[in-house]
Amino acid sequence: MFIPEPPCDQKEMCAKQRERVLHCLGPIVLPRRRLRKFDRKAYDYKCVYRKLAADGEKADSHKKIEGMKEERKKHRIISKAEMTSLATPLKA
């Protein structure tokens, strides 16, 4: 014969769940460095999806999304040759 368990107190259950979540999000489990790393990655993906939506395209393949993310990343990189041309003054 099945004997149902008495119902748990909802507030107590929510408090325990909140405590577990806060423990998992604490600085021991998620240090600031890790949070910043993944926040940067998530921001890159958000920018790519925003650009796709603005262009009216669909994100139909993972390869396309990764390609756009890499293309976006290239805009922030300055090559060594460009750095030396910036460092040396131009002759008039």
DSSP secondary structure string for all residues of 54-72 = HHT-----HHHHHHHHHHH
- pLDDT tens for each residue of 52-81: 888 887 777 788 888 888 877 776 666 666
DSSP label of 1? -
Considering the entire predicted model, what is its pTM? 0.49
Coil/strand/helix, residue 61: coil
Q: Which amino acid is at 57?
A: E
How far is 52 from 59, CA to CA, in rounded Å?
A: 7
What are residue 2's phi and psi, to 5 degrees? -85, 125
For the chain, domain boundaries: 32-76
